[in-house]
Structure 1
Amino acid sequence: MVPPLTTPCAHNFYKARLDGVFVGQSFIKDRTCGGRRTLA
């Protein structure tokens, strides 16, 4: 059994399942968590 991926905000996902759901979706982009910032 493969352990789930856990996000910094404690959500758990199974990568294989997510890969299958979003196959062919052009609106999906890689994101990084760079922290929050205040916009002036």
Structure 2
Amino acid sequence: MDRSSKRRQVKPLAASLLEALDYDSSDDSDFKVGDASGLADS
């Protein structure tokens, strides 16, 4: 039952990541390449 719960949590997580990447790409004026690099490094 635990594995089922984990799999369910992974789906929304992956969707959130994809949405974040898509949003990042669309919001170029708000997000600077340097800032994005810093976030990834952290």
Common topology (TM > 0.5): no
TM-score norm. by structure 2 comes to 0.28
| Higher RCO structure (Cα 8 Å, ≥6 apart) | 1
TM-score norm. by structure 1 comes to 0.29
Structure with the largest fraction of helix: 2
